[in-house]
């Protein structure tokens, strides 16, 4: 089945358990922002997209119960201060790879901490980091003070956070969409059984098996709605989009 479809995913360690058994020639791996752009062009049938995409594009279908999320600390999405002493931010450098994480930063600082800031590419007080680059920094600098966005969201709302979900393109028929959903759920079953083989270090194993969550319950859907409402409240979204679950 998968060879008939074009499947896109993020090019990070955290996605590996979701991709087990997908043939290489069916798979396109890119950073989140580029992946979303390819999906919008219609070159992908299904993609592991930042959840922010659900709020900005109409008529999307997401696969229920499946994605990349966390319940508290995530280790690979955070604000890194320019120096360890600088924990108050007037300016931040946005992540070039993820609009979703930048928007989450805005909600956490502007709404929940009442700490407005400006985005600034150079000479900023800190920067948003995500993915393997962020995880590598955390691994090599375990005591460096960071603001983990998964942990910050949990502390502010009491909810887990869904960073990415599988989204089916509107051009895919309903029947084929359900077939894709079954295939990707089976891929995760296989992937979870092989997590130890993906991990090169003890921390990578903890990251994939403990810190990251790949199966979502209803709290993740509640969290999505909370995040959407928060974005509207701070003026980062004009209004609500609705999506369907497969």
Domains 2-70+161-245 and 77-157 share a fold: yes
Q: What are phi and psi of 48, to 5 degrees?
A: -85, 95
pLDDT at position 174: 87
Q: Tell me the C-alpha distance between 30 and 34, whole Å.
A: 6
- pLDDT, one tens digit per residue, over 193-221 is 999 999 999 999 999 999 999 999 999 99
> What's the pLDDT at 24?
82
In angstroms, the CA 125 to CA 128 distance is 11
Pairing relation of β-strands 244-245 and 61-70?
A: parallel
Domain 2-70+161-245 falls under CATH 3.40.50.720: no
Domain ranges of the chain: 2-70+161-245, 77-157
Structure-block tokens of residue 159 = 């909810």
Tokens of 8: 């896109």
The answer to pTM > 0.85 is yes
pLDDT digits (tens, 9 = 90+) for 222-240: 999 999 999 999 999 999 9
CATH topology of domain 77-157: D-Maltodextrin-Binding Protein; domain 2 (3.40.190)
In the chain, where does DSSP find H-type helix?
32-41, 53-56, 99-106, 131-140, 149-157, 174-192, 195-198, 202-206, 218-233
pLDDT tens profile 37-84: 999 999 999 999 999 999 999 889 999 999 999 999 999 999 999 999
């Amino acid at each position: 089945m998968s060879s008939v479809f074009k499947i896109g995913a993020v090019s990070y360690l955290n996605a590996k358990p979701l991709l087990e058994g997908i043939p290489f020639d069916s798979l396109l791996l890119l950073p989140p922002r580029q992946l979303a752009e390819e999906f919008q062009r219609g070159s992908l049938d299904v993609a592991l997209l930042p959840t922010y995409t659900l709020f900005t594009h109409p008529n999307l279908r997401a696969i229920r119960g499946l994605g990349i999320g966390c319940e508290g600390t995530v280790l690979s999405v955070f604000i890194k201060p320019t120096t360890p002493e600088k924990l108050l931010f007037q300016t931040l450098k946005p992540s070039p790879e993820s609009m979703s994480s930048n928007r989450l930063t805005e909600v956490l600082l502007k709404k929940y901490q009442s700490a407005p800031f400006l985005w600034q590419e150079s000479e900023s007080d800190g920067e948003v980091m995500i993915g393997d680059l962020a995880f590598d920094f955390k691994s090599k600098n375990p005591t460096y003070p960071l603001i983990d966005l998964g942990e910050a969201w949990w502390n502010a709302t009491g909810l887990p956070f869904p960073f990415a979900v599988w989204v089916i393109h509107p051009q895919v028929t309903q029947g084929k969409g359900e077939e894709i959903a079954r295939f990707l759920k089976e891929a995760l079953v296989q992937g979870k059984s092989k997590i130890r083989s993906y991990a090169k270090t003890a921390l990578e194993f903890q990251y994939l098996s403990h810190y990251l969550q790949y199966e979502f319950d209803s709290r993740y859907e509640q969290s999505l709605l909370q995040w959407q409402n928060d974005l509207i409240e701070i003026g980062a979204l004009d209004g609500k989009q609705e999506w369907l679950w497969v």
